[in-house]
């Protein structure tokens, strides 16, 4: 691919999104809109207890209610263990995926766990039928905190934890240099423990699926999944049906992802399939917003310890990092998330001695899984708070301290792929200018009741999940008989603009007009295998496959045209859907339309295939916040947020900015207000939009997204990942700004009015 | 439960549909009339995805009993584009305000209701008008810009 090319035709242009028209007119179809002839509606009976054994369950009265067509529970559904998350399909071979779920079980492990489900001719009847299911529970002891759950006296939530009490999978250990020696050689060592909250994706479309099972046993599932192909693999295992007899597709749009449906959409797909098998009719499952809150994966809350040793001149010398995350009741991505927390947090700075030890712990709370950032925001909150503490102790400007230590190309690090390019210094410089860093420290008058502060935090992320997961991509680029182009790729478009940007890549590589390229996506029946949209990978990884397929198709076209024009293929190129002689003064040209039809009449089509294992590349981002803290109420108001991001190359700048702006908003929520708390009975206390406090338009500060292009040597046309990066360092940037304003270091987020109020009061006392 | 005939004007056309007293407007629109452009994100009036314009006001259709729409003028996202897209829709498309798209019909309706009533809204008025519409993708940045641009365009048109 032409990474050295500077003049692009369509790459780098903010073309209008392909899905925009459908979406502004309401024509775009989502899973929750799907309606099939004879379709039934499902409702799910959920556990009121955090941990209990189902001693007896009687579904007969529910089955007899007129309009009820099926009742599913552990007694009539497959007893095959699986994991609702795609991890069970792409855990790398030396590790074993944790399979700890059934469609329904006779033990419930959190408030909201599935007990049974009903399919009926209407939602009302299904809801009524739930009340007729008689369940006798025997309550079991429950535990909610990961540190408590590791103790000897804590209940076992799952058996078979080989690394320790309630620890799923393997403990992640990373070692480089010798940290003990590193701390001994350091002039200053700062150590702190941080507590991070349970955040929820709150994607706008709740978890949903519609399943249809044919008489032959073929299964079709319309779903909100971010990963149609892996989801097909999960269903294949859970129901013992061959992959080839299952089709999973988006219909075609998905109302947001943010990690909540990498694999199944909570249990929407398996429940829909189980009921459709029993009822022999199509079944629709749509989670209510409350179900989405309490019974679908969250971000991991938990604890992070960071110990940083530095030299007098500010050179970082040793970092010891530890993470204990709350897995909740089922494993989901709880083996991988601590790994990303460690690997990403260790790789922002050049530190010769570093060590990480991290894992998750089962508790009787809603399962935690993937959420945008995937462990990284938890680790970076800890690290970037400690770095700020170091800056103050050494009396070095926080920007200068960071610039001195940031990772450079060629530096040793713990990651198994190279740092190909870094625009971090440029991100820091441009972000500082935007926030007005020079004003820092001169913002407040003595005696003010509202004080301002400015803070910074930086971070990195992946562009892909290789080599942490099985990770490969396939794509077809097929030249149609009229010279138009069909791209087929198995990724969905969860809102990130994939169906616009992948055609941009194909058009650029081929040299055809953008309006001639269309894309098939999000459907296992019409696209080759792809592991899906997650890990900020879609443009970077699936894009690499699309470029490879386009290259293949183009080569075939040029070779065919060579005969027609009587010029060797090496001398030809294509631009604006026309093949021309690029080397020499020959004026011969022929349109792709003519070539394609000429070939068609001679029994030939040009089909490009891209089959790649994508590499990986670090993203770099610097976030800046200006805050105003009300010393009387504890309210923290963010005045301005800046996210300066090295995106490698912005294939579609408007889409890139949109990703960053949305990330900043979610990072703002993580920093200030978003949290699911539990009462002492294990019940979720924040399970509706109005009680969860995510940012509305009125809560947003001035936001600036800055794009920095380092032209990554591994990504398509120089691009890197961007999707998750927008919230990686937002919370510590805000917390550091609050410190700058108040002198109070918060080691726990969110910085709610209440938390800040009490901290201010205690600060005054001391 | 006995059904009643709901008679109202929907996107400029007279409409009659039998509904039960417990039906909410959002469900009648989506399930009975198959106008699925209006989205349901919470069913509790908290997310704004189901926003429609009723008698000139933006309302959460999941909180409106269907029979309350008796005799009313109701406009859904399907009625906004006439021969061409409405300037609000154009601006959302041009300025990159659309991502996953699930909140967008509600955003369009709240924005249109604002501009129908107040052709020169301030930034604060725009924010207030869409503050009941949750978007998790965009941070509202490009949505606000799109509403501003649409207002500008409508003024130029007069």
In tens, the pLDDT along B115-128 reads 999 999 999 999 99
- Nearest by CB: B136 against A33, A256, A288: A256
CB contact under 8 A, B94 and A16: yes
Q: Which residues of B touch A694 (CB under 8 A)?
A: 134, 136
Domain ranges of chain B: 4-79, 87-157
Residue in A23, A372, A707 to test binding to B, most B beta-carbons within 10 Å = A23
- Does residue A766 register a pLDDT over 80? no
Helix or strand run (H / E) with residue A435: helix A424-435
Q: Which residue is closest to A652 within chain B, CA to CA? A: B96
The nearest CA of chain B is from the CA of A734 a distance in Å of: 16
Q: Is A320 left (phi over 0), alpha (psi -120 to 50) or beta?
A: beta
Query: What's the confidence (pLDDT) of residue A3?
Result: 46
Which of A 639-668 lie inside 8 A of B, CB atoms?
A: 654-655, 657-658, 661-666
pLDDT, mean of residues A713-723: 97
φ, ψ dihedrals at A356, nearest 5°: -140, 145
Residue A434 pairs in a beta bridge with none
Q: Which is it for strands A702-708 and A636-646: parallel, antiparallel or unpaired?
A: parallel
CB contact under 8 A, A204 and B131: no
φ, ψ dihedrals at A742, nearest 5°: -115, -20
| Alpha helix positions (H), A602-688 | 653-672
Q: Which residues of B touch A689 (CB under 8 A)?
A: 41-42, 44, 46-47, 134
- Does residue A697 register a pLDDT over 60? yes
CA angle (A236, A237, A241) in 5-degree steps: 40
Q: What are the pLDDT digits (tens) for A310-365?
A: 999 999 999 999 999 999 999 999 999 999 999 999 999 999 999 999 999 999 99
CA dihedral of residues A309, A310, A311, A313 (deg, nearest 10): -170
CB contact under 8 A, A204 and B141: no
Residue in A18, A25, A498, A694 to test binding to B, most B beta-carbons within 10 Å = A25
Q: Using 50, 70 and 90 to split pLDDT, how confident is the model at A58?
A: very high
The nearest CA of chain B is from the CA of A9 a distance in Å of: 19
- Is the CB of residue A375 less than 8 Å from the CB of residue A535? no
Residues 6+ away with beta carbon under 8 Å from A728: A344, A373, A376, A377, A380, A459, A460, A461, A621, A623, A663, A667
Q: What are the pLDDT digits (tens) for A212-255?
A: 999 999 999 999 999 999 999 999 999 999 999 999 999 999 99
Q: Which residues of B touch A203 (CB under 8 A)?
A: 100, 102, 136
Average pLDDT, chain A: 97
Q: Which residue is closest to B23 within chain A, CA to CA? A: A124
Q: Using 50, 70 and 90 to split pLDDT, how confident is the model at A403?
A: very high
pLDDT, mean of residues B56-75: 98
Q: What are the pLDDT digits (tens) for A373-397?
A: 999 999 999 999 999 999 999 999 9
Q: What are the pLDDT digits (tens) for A155-167?
A: 999 999 999 999 9
Higher per-residue pLDDT: A89 or A420: A89
- Does residue B112 register a pLDDT over 70? yes
Q: Which two tokens stand for residue A202?
A: 């709150």
User: Sign of dihedral through CA atoms A139, A144, A146, A151?
Assistant: negative
Q: Which residues of A touch B128 (CB under 8 A)?
A: 698
pLDDT, mean of residues A182-205: 98
CATH code matching the domain that covers A20-28+472-612, chosen among 1.10.10.10, 3.10.310.30, 3.40.190.10, 3.30.365.10? 3.30.365.10
DSSP A714: S
Q: What is the DSSP string of A363-410?
A: -SSPPB---TTTTHHHHHHHHHHHHHHHHHHHT--HHHHHHHHB--TT
For chain A, the maximum distance between any two Cα atoms, rounded to a whole number of angstroms, is 89
The nearest CA of chain B is from the CA of A293 a distance in Å of: 11
What are the strands of the beta sheet with A316-328, ordered from one edge?
A172-176, A353-362, A316-328, A302-310, A188-196
- Does residue A418 register a pLDDT over 70? yes
CA angle (B44, A45, B51) in 5-degree steps: 15
The complex's ipTM?
0.98
- Nearest by CB: A700 against B39, B77, B139: B139
Q: Which residues of B touch A654 (CB under 8 A)?
A: 95-96, 142
Q: Using 50, 70 and 90 to split pLDDT, how confident is the model at A5?
A: low
Query: What's the confidence (pLDDT) of residue A380?
Result: 98
- Does residue A765 register a pLDDT over 80? no
Establish whether the linkage from the previous residue to A252 is cis, with ω within 30° of 0.
yes
CATH of domain B87-157: 1.10.150.120
Q: Which residues of A touch B35 (CB under 8 A)?
A: 26
Q: What is the CA radius of gyration of chain A?
A: 27
Q: Which two tokens stand for residue A174?
A: 């990373």
**CATH superfamily label, B4-79:** Beta-grasp domain (3.10.20.30)
Residue in B103, B109, B136, B138 to test binding to A, most A beta-carbons within 10 Å = B136
Environment class of residue B21 by beta-carbon count within 10 Å: exposed (0-12), middle (13-18) or buried (19+)?
exposed
Query: What's the confidence (pLDDT) of residue A157?
Result: 98
- Does residue A733 register a pLDDT over 70? yes
- Does residue A430 register a pLDDT over 80? yes
φ, ψ dihedrals at A618, nearest 5°: -80, 140
- Does residue A546 register a pLDDT over 50? yes
Residues 6+ away with beta carbon under 8 Å from A655: A14, A17, A496, A497, A500, A501, B96
- Nearest by CB: B100 against A256, A690, A696: A256
CA dihedral of residues B87, B88, B92, B93 (deg, nearest 10): -30
Environment class of residue A397 by beta-carbon count within 10 Å: exposed (0-12), middle (13-18) or buried (19+)?
middle
Q: Identify each DSSP E strand in A386-538 by its residue range.
A: 450-461, 473-479, 485-489, 517-521
Which of A 183-242 lie inside 8 A of B, CB atoms?
A: 201-206
- Nearest by CB: B99 against A205, A658, A694: A658
Q: Using 50, 70 and 90 to split pLDDT, how confident is the model at A2?
A: very low
Do A20-28+472-612 and A416-462+617-766 show the same overall fold? yes
Query: What's the confidence (pLDDT) of residue B2?
Result: 87
- Is the CB of residue A727 less than 8 Å from the CB of residue A667? yes
- Nearest by CB: A204 against B47, B80, B130: B47
Query: What's the confidence (pLDDT) of residue B1?
Result: 62
A414: helix, strand or coil: coil
Q: Give the CATH architecture of domain A416-462+617-766.
A: 2-Layer Sandwich (3.30)
Q: Which residue is closest to B109 within chain A, CA to CA? A: A24
Q: What is the DSSP string of B52-71?
A: EEETTEEEETTSSBGGGGTT
Touching check for A289 and chain B: CB below 8 Å?
A: yes
- Nearest by CB: A495 against B37, B101, B142: B101
CA distances from A694 to A387, B70, B131, B135, B136 (A): 28, 35, 12, 10, 9
Q: Identify each DSSP E strand in A531-658 by its residue range.
A: 572-575, 578-581, 589-591, 607-612, 619-630, 636-646
Q: What are the pLDDT digits (tens) for A258-314?
A: 999 999 999 999 999 999 999 999 999 999 999 999 999 999 999 999 999 999 999
- Does residue B153 register a pLDDT over 70? yes
- Does residue A516 register a pLDDT over 80? yes
Query: What's the confidence (pLDDT) of residue A1?
Result: 42
- Is the CB of residue A669 less than 8 Å from the CB of residue B135? no
CA angle (B102, A656, A430) in 5-degree steps: 135
Domain ranges of chain A: 20-28+472-612, 416-462+617-766
The nearest CA of chain A is from the CA of B73 a distance in Å of: 19
């Amino acid at each position: 691919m032409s990474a050295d090319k500077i003049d692009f035709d369509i790459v780098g242009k903010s073309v209008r999104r392909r899905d925009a028209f459908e979406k502004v007119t309401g024509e775009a179809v989502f899973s929750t809109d799907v309606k099939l002839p004879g379709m039934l509606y499902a409702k799910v009976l959920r556990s009121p207890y955090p941990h209990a054994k189902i001693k007896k369950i009687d579904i007969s009265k529910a089955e007899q209610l007129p309009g009820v067509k099926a009742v599913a529970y552990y007694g009539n559904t497959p007893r095959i263990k699986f994991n609702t998350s795609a991890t069970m399909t792409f855990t790398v071979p030396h590790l074993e995926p944790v399979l700890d779920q059934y469609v329904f079980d006779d033990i419930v492990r959190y408030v909201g766990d599935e007990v049974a489900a009903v399919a009926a001719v209407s939602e009302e009847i299904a809801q009524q039928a739930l009340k007729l299911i008689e369940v006798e529970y025997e309550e079991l002891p429950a535990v909610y905190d990961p540190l408590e759950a590791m103790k000897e006296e804590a209940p076992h939530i799952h058996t078979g934890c080989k690394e320790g009490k309630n620890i799923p999978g393997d403990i992640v250990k990373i070692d480089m240099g010798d940290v003990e020696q590193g701390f001994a050689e350091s002039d200053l060592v700062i150590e702190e423990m941080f507590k991070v909250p349970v955040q929820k994706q709150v994607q706008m479309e709740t978890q949903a699926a519609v399943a249809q099972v044919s008489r032959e046993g073929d299964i079709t599932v319309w779903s909100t999944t971010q990963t149609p192909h892996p989801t097909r693999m999960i269903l294949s295992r859970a129901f013992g049906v061959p992959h080839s007899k299952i089709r999973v597709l988006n219909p075609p749009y998905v109302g947001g992802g943010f990690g909540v449906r990498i694999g199944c959409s909570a249990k929407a797909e398996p429940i829909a399939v189980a009921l459709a098998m029993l009822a022999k009719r199509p079944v629709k499952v749509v989670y209510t917003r409350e179900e989405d809150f309490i019974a679908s994966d969250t971000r991991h809350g938990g604890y992070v310890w960071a110990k940083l040793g530095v030299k007098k001149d500010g050179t970082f010398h040793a970092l010891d990092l530890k993470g204990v995350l709350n897995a909740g009741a089922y494993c989901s991505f709880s083996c991988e998330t601590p790994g990303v927390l460690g690997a990403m947090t260790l790789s922002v700075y050049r530190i010769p001695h570093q060590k990480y030890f991290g894992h998750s712990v089962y508790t009787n709370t809603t399962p935690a899984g993937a959420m945008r950032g995937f462990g990284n925001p938890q680790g970076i909150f800890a690290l970037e708070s400690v770095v700020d503490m170091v800056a103050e102790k050494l009396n070095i400007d926080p920007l200068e301290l960071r610039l001195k230590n940031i990772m450079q190309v060629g530096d040793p690090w713990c990651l198994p792929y190279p740092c190909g390019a870094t625009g971090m210094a440029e991100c820091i410089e441009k972000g500082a200018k935007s926030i007005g860093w020079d004003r820092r420290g001169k913002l407040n008058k003595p005696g003010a009741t509202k004080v301002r502060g400015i803070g910074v935090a930086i971070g990195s992320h992946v562009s892909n999940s290789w080599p942490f997961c099985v990770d490969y991509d396939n794509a077809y680029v097929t030249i149609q008989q009229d010279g138009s182009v069909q791209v087929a790729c198995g990724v969905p478009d969860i809102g990130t603009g994939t169906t616009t940007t992948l055609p941009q890549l194909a058009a650029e590589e081929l040299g055809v007009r953008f309006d001639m390229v269309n894309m098939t996506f999000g459907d296992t029946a019409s696209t080759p295998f792809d592991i899906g949209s997650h890990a900020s990978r879609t443009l970077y990884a699936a894009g690499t496959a699309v470029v490879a397929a386009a290259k293949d198709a183009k080569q075939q076209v040029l070779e065919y045209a060579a005969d027609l024009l009587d010029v060797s293929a090496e001398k030809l190129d294509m631009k604006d859907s026309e093949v021309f002689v690029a080397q020499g003064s020959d004026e011969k040209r022929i349109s792709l339309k003519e070539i394609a039809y000429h070939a068609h009449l001679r029994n030939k089509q040009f089909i490009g295939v891209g089959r790649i294992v994508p590499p990986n590349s670090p993203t770099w981002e610097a976030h800046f916040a200006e805050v105003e803290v009300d010393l009387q109420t504890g309210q923290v108001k963010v005045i301005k947020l800046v996210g300066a991001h090295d995106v490698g190359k912005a294939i579609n700048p408007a889409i890139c900015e949109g990703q960053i702006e949305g990330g900043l908003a979610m990072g703002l929520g993580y920093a200030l207000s978003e949290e699911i708390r539990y009462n002492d009975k294990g019940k979720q206390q924040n399970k509706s939009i109005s009680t969860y406090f995510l940012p509305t338009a009125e809560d947003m500060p001035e936001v600036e997204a800055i794009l920095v292009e380092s032209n990554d040597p591994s990504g398509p046309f120089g691009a890197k990942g961007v999707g998750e990066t927008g919230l990686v360092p937002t919370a510590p940037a805000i917390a550091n700004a609050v410190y700058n304003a108040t002198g109070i270091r918060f080691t726990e987020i969110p910085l709610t009015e209440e938390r800040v109020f009490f901290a201010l009061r205690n600060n005054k006392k001391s | 439960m006995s059904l009643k005939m709901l008679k109202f004007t929907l996107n400029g056309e007279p409409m009659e549909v039998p509904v039960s007293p417990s039906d909410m407007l959002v469900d009648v629109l989506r399930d009975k009339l198959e106008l699925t452009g209006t989205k349901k994100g919470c069913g509790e009036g908290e997310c704004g995805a189901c926003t429609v314009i009723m008698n000139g006001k933006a309302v959460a259709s999941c909180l409106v009993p269907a029979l309350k729409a008796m005799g009313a003028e109701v406009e859904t996202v399907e009625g906004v584009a006439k021969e061409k897209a409405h300037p609000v829709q154009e601006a959302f498309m041009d300025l990159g305000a659309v991502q996953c798209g699930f909140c967008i019909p509600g955003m369009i309706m709240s924005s249109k209701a604002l501009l129908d009533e107040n052709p020169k809204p301030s930034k604060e008025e725009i924010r207030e008008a869409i503050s009941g519409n949750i978007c998790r993708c965009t941070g509202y940045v490009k949505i606000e810009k799109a509403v501003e641009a649409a207002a500008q365009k409508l003024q130029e048109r007069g």
